[in-house]
Structure 1
Amino acid sequence: MPHPKQHPIPPATLLSSASHPAPGQLLITELTFRVPLDYAQPDGQHVTLFARRAQKYTRPLTKGDGDESDEENSKPYIVYLEGGPGFGNRAPQDHPLTRPALTRSYQVLMLDHRGTGMSTPVGAEMLAHKSTDEQVEYLKLMRQDNTVRDCEAVRKCLLEGHKGDEAKWSIFGQSYGGFVAMSYLSMHPEGLKEVYLTGGLAPVKRNADEVYTAVLPRVAKRSEEYYAKFPEDVKNVWDIANYIIEKKGGKVALPSGGVLTVARLLTIGIAFGGHGGFDGVHSTILQLKNSLDTFGFLARASLAPLESYTPFDTNIIYAILHEAIYCNGPGYASNWASQRIGEQHPSYPWLKETKLSPSDGPLYFSGENIFPFDFETYPELSELRAAAHKLAKFDQWEYLYDLEQLSRNEVPVYAASYVDDMYVDSDFARETARLVKGTKVFETNVMYHNALRAKADEVLQQLFNLRDDVMD
């Protein structure tokens, strides 16, 4: 059976450790590690990983009294794996998982995936000295399989000398963090005690074409629901689009240096997958329309909010490797799957080179999709356009998952799954839950993909119930 390549994983080298107390009785430790860029060449180039650890902090009553650091250090780790790909972690004191996890006697480790946050973050400038082919080779090493290897290297470093279950840790994957978790269960289950997932039951049997064929109708439905809530925005969006087309030749300069096209405007529908997404998009459209009505042009203050929806310029990996995370093994190239599948969908004529008219009906928004035009409208991405096209055509990817290993999995998996998730198809999530032995699922149709942030107490309570309760 196909399976990810196995490489020896040497312990990470701890480069630095600095601790400080934080409000809320927290002790935050900032850690940096050195690991191989390519585990097939452990003596070659290295990258730095950044993590923050959160522990309970109690000030000693009197000078000379011991603190609780030894006790805290002996508590089991839970490692939070952020979504994306391409995003670093917030500080633990600002994260909804931290305090509930500490209450349950974990110590929390928030590790930035390689290439993100402060873990040798990928950017156009740091890749500028490389040829296009060298950029491609570097970026190919930024997927979930190498994140798993990084986690194992850090685990071996932090838990050196521990034996049995004490040498294992728990992981918590949100969204793409769940993709990492599925690769972890495939590659190194011996390092895991338990797995928690929120919106992260990755479609391990599916490629990008299948994913977007399933997801795009959900995205179109969300556009219809948006216009049902804000019917005035049918005209408002068209007014903004027509201004871009007629007054500015199809392009409006953005404050950060990128350009706003009609296509880029419609990508803000990515927010529809989260709680409050409709209202956020409406507020943005209202600002743009108000600027047009007041001044006859789009003022800087009205354009700035647009740039926060898809921060690709500061999170390069999200754009350049998004479809690659669905490439499980050789013989398949993503080949701009969102673009190809979207062009076939009747709700997305704006993805084709056709003239648009309000008589055609509302302009539908896209969702969590990456398109070739992103590498023309974002200044940072434009510098990596050639590498992006090569990656889209690449069809010799390594395997990310071992389906046979997942089917005989022995690590407990506790998952929150959302029926109306716009990013992770719920049918594919159920398919994965059935495949991965030992998976318990809390499924709901009253939460969206960002429920860990928007409804943290409810989600975490349900997850911990899956762990602690029994069914008789």
Structure 2
Amino acid sequence: MVQRLPIPAARLVSSRSHLVPGQLRVTELWFEVPLDYTTPNGPWIRLFARHASKSSSCDLAKPTQDEAPTSGSTTPQRYMVYLEGGPGFGNREPQDLPLTHFAVEQGYQMLYLDHRGTGLSTPVSAEMLARLPGGVASQVEYLKLMRQDNTVRDCEAVRKYLTRGWPEQDAKWTTFGQSYGGFVSMSYLSMHPEGLREVFLTGGLAPVLRTADEVYESVFPRIARRNKAYYSKFPEDVGAVRQIAQYIESHGNVALPSGGALTVPRFLTLGISFGMHGGFDTVHNVILHLKASLDQFGFLSRASLVPLETHTAFDTNIIYAILHEAIYCDGPGKASNWAAQRVGQDHPAFPWLKPGTSVAELKDPLCFSGENIFPFLFETYPELAQLKEVAHRLAAFDEWPRLYDEDQLRKNEVPVYAASYVEDMYVDADLARETAGLVQGTTVFETSVLYHNAVRAKAEEVLRVLFSLKHDVLD
């Protein structure tokens, strides 16, 4: 059973508005909420959010200034809170997201809330964790509080502040969950459905009935198929990838410009982009730079290494790496124990995951991994290397709180509108169907021509169909 705790309203720290092109008024909001809702009188942390609404001619006539809190209005607003994917990533500015303009035209007030520990919401870093009293043990305890269950509680705390004094029905709001944001929404439906009017999901039908091992057993075959598609598009990269891997292996590793080491396993994690629109071309461009440097100079230049080094932002978004498998640990007895490493190394397409394997031993094309976190990442990224012991302790931890309430989901009364992608490399489509069948009141738009980041890459198409699930009638 999920733990339902009393949620105090968030405290507003500051509020400041400005206008941006496109007739948008953006308000930057800082809140304070408890770090641990089981001890609300303990430390509080800060959350950052941006509120976006349509500006009026009156707004254009007056300068920006400190705003009164956006609560207590006599006219309740329809709030939609956007839940970003990850975990570990904050939000971009509202004007840069197609959803903002679409939703505002639909009559919503948009709220982009950075999950705790990410973006500007008391962001987690190795240095910040090192300042906690108590060493590794306290760092582990702190990070345990960064999963989706506490993000739900943060949302409720902010909702209670923004809608204080409103009638109960008007105080409900809408969530829009992209990818991991959908996982948060599923926990929200389990823990505090009373706060929700409706839920929209894109690539976010979380595998709520499955363990981390089961998730990766379903995902690795999909990753292998994407590798075949990649090499079909860029057959020249079969040889290029092997050339680069052999160079790295022959040098033991390659020092990276910003620190850390490029090893063959780290190089082969580039496939994390394969599930995105444009992902193949992004990876090919990295390979092209590396090969050109080897062909022309016989070494990997700084200019060729930078695109690879910045390909994954684990050093600046450490929650993504350190808690990625924990989001699949639903309750006691569910330690991840580095599930991706254990499952992946037994798949025939990924023999390089077995420790001690040499590229020279492998005859088939080298397959890239996908959205997987491996122990070796905590040896090759400088920021993550400082948290190696913390990561191992979290991987072994098996007393996680429950994230989902299956009984509550089966009797769910909150409408759920989901876009699901048949070729999704990150959220397995078969497991997504299983979840859609579990959660009462779920309507799904399923397509085989869009990928995981379609809400950004193909926004108009996704949003038009997704919102039609709400407004249209299905025979």
TM beyond 0.5: yes
What is the DSSP-based 3-state SS (H/G/I as helix, E as strand, rest coil) of the residue aligned with 1:440? strand
Change beyond 3 A, Cα 1:346–1:16: same
How many aligned positions are there? 464
Which residue is equivalent to 1:189?
A: 193
* Percent identity (aligned): 66
Q: Residue by residue, what CA displacement relative to the aligned partner does 1:365-395 show, whole Å, maximum 9, x if unpaired?
A: 0000000000001000000100000000000
Which residue is equivalent to 1:173?
A: 177
Q: Are residues 1:215 and 2:211 paired?
A: no
What amino acid does structure 2 have at the position aligned with 1:200?
G
Change beyond 3 A, Cα 1:121–1:386: same
Query: For 1:276-355, what aligned pairs fall within 5 Å after superposition?
Result: 276-352=278-354, 353-355=356-358
Q: Residue by residue, what CA displacement relative to the aligned partner does 1:375-423 show, whole Å, maximum 9, x if unpaired?
A: 0010000001000000000001000000000000000000000001000
Deviation at 1:62, TM superposition (A): 10
Residue among 136, 161, 167 paired with 1:157: 161
Residue among 20, 23, 27 paired with 1:25: 23
What amino acid does structure 1 have at the position aligned with 2:145?
L
Which residue is equivalent to 1:253?
A: 255
Deviation at 1:165, TM superposition (A): 2.0
Distance 1:25 1:73 in 2: 21
Q: Are residues 1:132 and 2:136 paired?
A: yes
Which residue is equivalent to 1:243?
A: 247
Distance 2:393 2:75 in 1: 45
What amino acid does structure 2 have at the position aligned with 1:134?
S
Deviation at 1:61, TM superposition (A): 9.3
Deviates more, 1:146-155 or 1:301-310: 301-310
Q: Is the 8 A contact 2:245 2:359 kept in 1?
A: no
Q: Residue by residue, what CA displacement relative to the aligned partner does 1:17-51 show, whole Å, maximum 9, x if unpaired?
A: 00011111110000000000000000001110000
What amino acid does structure 1 have at the position aligned with 2:331?
G
Distance 1:45 1:294 in 2: 56
Distance 1:81 1:71 in 2: 24
Q: Is the 8 A contact 1:26 1:57 kept in 2?
A: yes
Distance 2:377 2:302 in 1: 21
> Structure 1 length as normaliser, TM-score?
0.96
Deviation at 1:72, TM superposition (A): 11
Deviation at 1:360, TM superposition (A): 1.4
Q: Are residues 1:451 and 2:449 paired?
A: no
Distance 1:48 1:398 in 2: 23
> Structure 2 length as normaliser, TM-score?
0.96
Uncovered stretches (5+) of structure 2, i.e. residues with no partner? 63-69
Q: Is the 8 A contact 1:77 1:107 kept in 2?
A: yes
Deviation at 1:59, TM superposition (A): 2.5
Q: Is the 8 A contact 1:238 1:358 kept in 2?
A: no
What amino acid does structure 2 have at the position aligned with 1:242?
Q
Q: Is the 8 A contact 1:270 1:309 kept in 2?
A: no
What is the DSSP-based 3-state SS (H/G/I as helix, E as strand, rest coil) of the residue aligned with 2:170? helix
Uncovered stretches (5+) of structure 1, i.e. residues with no partner? none
What amino acid does structure 2 have at the position aligned with 1:392?
A
Which residue is equivalent to 2:32?
A: 34
Q: Is the 8 A contact 1:132 1:386 kept in 2?
A: yes
Distance 2:223 2:336 in 1: 20
Residue among 200, 204, 226 paired with 1:200: 204
Distance 1:61 1:144 in 2: 36
Change beyond 3 A, Cα 1:467–1:156: same
Deviates more, 1:52-61 or 1:265-274: 52-61
Q: Is the 8 A contact 2:249 2:359 kept in 1?
A: no
Deviation at 1:96, TM superposition (A): 1.4
What amino acid does structure 1 have at the position aligned with 2:431?
F
Which residue is equivalent to 1:386?
A: 389
What is the DSSP-based 3-state SS (H/G/I as helix, E as strand, rest coil) of the residue aligned with 1:118? coil
Q: Is the 8 A contact 1:92 1:110 kept in 2?
A: yes
Which residue is equivalent to 2:469?
A: 466
Distance 1:118 1:223 in 2: 35
Q: Are residues 1:99 and 2:97 paired?
A: no
Q: Residue by residue, what CA displacement relative to the aligned partner does 1:246-265 show, whole Å, maximum 9, x if unpaired?
A: 1x22x111111121111111
Distance 1:73 1:287 in 2: 56
Change beyond 3 A, Cα 1:5–1:63: closer
Q: Is the 8 A contact 1:73 1:107 kept in 2?
A: no
Q: Is the 8 A contact 2:76 2:166 kept in 1?
A: no
What is the DSSP-based 3-state SS (H/G/I as helix, E as strand, rest coil) of the residue aligned with 1:416? strand
Which residue is equivalent to 2:9?
A: 11
Deviates more, 1:393-402 or 1:55-64: 55-64
Deviation at 1:58, TM superposition (A): 1.6
Change beyond 3 A, Cα 1:450–1:166: same
Deviation at 1:60, TM superposition (A): 2.4
Deviation at 1:355, TM superposition (A): 2.1
What is the DSSP-based 3-state SS (H/G/I as helix, E as strand, rest coil) of the residue aligned with 2:308? helix
Q: Residue by residue, what CA displacement relative to the aligned partner does 1:86-139 show, whole Å, maximum 9, x if unpaired?
A: 000000010111000000010100000000000000000001133111110000
Q: Is the 8 A contact 2:241 2:366 kept in 1?
A: yes
Q: Residue by residue, what CA displacement relative to the aligned partner does 1:411-462 show, whole Å, maximum 9, x if unpaired?
A: 0000000001000000100000000000000000000000001100000001
Change beyond 3 A, Cα 1:364–1:73: farther
Q: Are residues 1:435 and 2:438 paired?
A: yes
